[in-house]
């Protein structure tokens, strides 16, 4: 199946709807998924303390080259969806391996990301949120392809999941499947060992839901109103420039008049 495998790499920062997006693709009968394959390499190299750090390191290869080779060589299904965190891409990594993928970018308004992330890790840098790495990957892909790759905004996706996912599928060259809109609740064998610490809301979900809808989780609603500290406000201001530079390209964004 190697030559016919469509490898879709979705590049996101943390506390986005990245796991829900993985659920959507995994619900397709023609798709296999992989969850944050560079996480162990990232923790091993940086020494950062994350929930379940030792279990994460034990669960995956810690050499990024081994991971990259597997992602470009393996063909587990006709569609191979790869959920990637941009903060896992470190400065000494050769990103040439990404040229084997159809690269897409998932963005979210920084204030929501920062408020959500702070609930799990109260002290962090902008680099740990992946904003600068995501913009560098995006710029690299624009230059390589000579066109803007698909960009998904989390808010627009939650507002119109069928529209955004339909446009995404058209852009990456696969048929849209209604199965992408709903999935069974609960954990998956494909979830990383870190899932119990990060995926509570997704485990309860059965589809995409706006934060202000009746289906929105209480945790998500709380995040909207969570105030930021002065240090977090500074990070937010820096991240906003990156977010807005990419958000103008988001799929299904209403055109200004």
In a domain, 214, yes or no: yes
What is the total count of domains within the chain?
1
Between these two residues, 121 and 224, which has the higher pLDDT value?
Answer: 121
In a domain, 215, yes or no: yes
Q: What is the pLDDT of residues 18-77, one digit of tens each?
A: 999 999 999 999 999 999 999 999 999 999 999 999 999 999 999 999 999 999 999 999
- For residue 218, is pLDDT > 50? no
In a domain, 192, yes or no: yes
Of the candidates 62, 65, 137, the one whose C-alpha atom is nearest the C-alpha of residue 101 is: 137
pTM of the model: 0.91
- For residue 119, is pLDDT > 90? no
In a domain, 108, yes or no: yes
In a domain, 257, yes or no: no
The tokens of 116 are what? 């959500």
Strand partners, 6: 79
The CATH code of the domain that includes 62 is: 3.40.50.300
- For residue 183, is pLDDT > 80? yes
State the pLDDT at residue 153.
97
- For residue 251, is pLDDT > 50? yes
Sign, Cα dihedral of 215, 191, 89, 8: negative
State the pLDDT at residue 94.
97
- For residue 256, is pLDDT > 60? no
Q: What's the pLDDT band for 253 if we cut at 50, 70, 90?
A: confident
Cβ atoms within 10 Å of 243's Cβ, excluding its own: 20
- For residue 125, is pLDDT > 50? yes
Between these two residues, 252 and 61, which has the higher pLDDT value?
Answer: 61
Q: Which domain holds residue 159?
A: 2-247
State the pLDDT at residue 3.
55
State the pLDDT at residue 210.
63
- Tell me the residue length of the chain: 257
- For residue 81, is pLDDT > 90? yes
- For residue 126, is pLDDT > 80? yes
In a domain, 253, yes or no: no
- For residue 1, is pLDDT > 80? no
Vertex 108: Cα angle to 211 and 247 (nearest 5): 125
Q: What is the pLDDT of residues 155-171, one digit of tens each?
A: 999 999 999 999 999 99
Q: What value does the mean pLDDT of the chain take? A: 91
- For residue 83, is pLDDT > 60? yes
- For residue 221, is pLDDT > 50? no
Taking residues 72-94, report their average pLDDT.
Answer: 96
Give the orientation angle of helix 110-117 with respect to helix 230-247, to 10 degrees: 140
3-state secondary structure of 188: coil
């Amino acid at each position: 199946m190697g030559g016919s495998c469509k490898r879709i790499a979705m590049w996101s920062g943390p506390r986005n709807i990245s796991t829900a997006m993985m659920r959507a693709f995994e619900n397709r009968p023609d798709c296999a998924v992989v969850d944050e394959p560079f996480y162990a390499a990232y923790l091993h190299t940086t020494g950062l303390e994350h929930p379940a750090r030792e279990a994460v390191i034990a669960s995956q290869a810690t050499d990024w080259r081994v991971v990259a080779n597997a992602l470009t060589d393996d063909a587990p299904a006709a569609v191979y969806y790869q959920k990637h965190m941009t903060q896992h891409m470190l400065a000494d990594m050769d990103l040439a391996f990404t040229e084997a993928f159809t690269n897409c970018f998932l963005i979210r308004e920084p204030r929501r990301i920062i408020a959500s992330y702070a609930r799990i890790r109260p002290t962090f840098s902008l680099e740990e949120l992946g904003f600068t790495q995501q913009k560098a990957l995006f710029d690299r892909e624009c230059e390589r392809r000579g066109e803007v790759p698909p960009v998904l905004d989390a808010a627009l996706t939650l507002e119109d999941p069928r529209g955004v996912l339909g446009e995404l599928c058209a852009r990456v060259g696969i048929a849209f499947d209604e199965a992408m809109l709903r999935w069974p609740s609960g954990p998956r064998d494909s979830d990383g060992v870190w899932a119990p610490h990060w995926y509570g809301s997704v485990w309860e979900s059965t589809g995409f839901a706006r934060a202000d809808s009746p289906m929105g989780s209480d945790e998500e609603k709380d995040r909207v109103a969570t105030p930021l500290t002065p240090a977090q406000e500074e990070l937010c201001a820096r991240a906003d420039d990156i977010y807005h530079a990419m958000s103008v390209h988001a799929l299904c964004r209403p055109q200004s008049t």
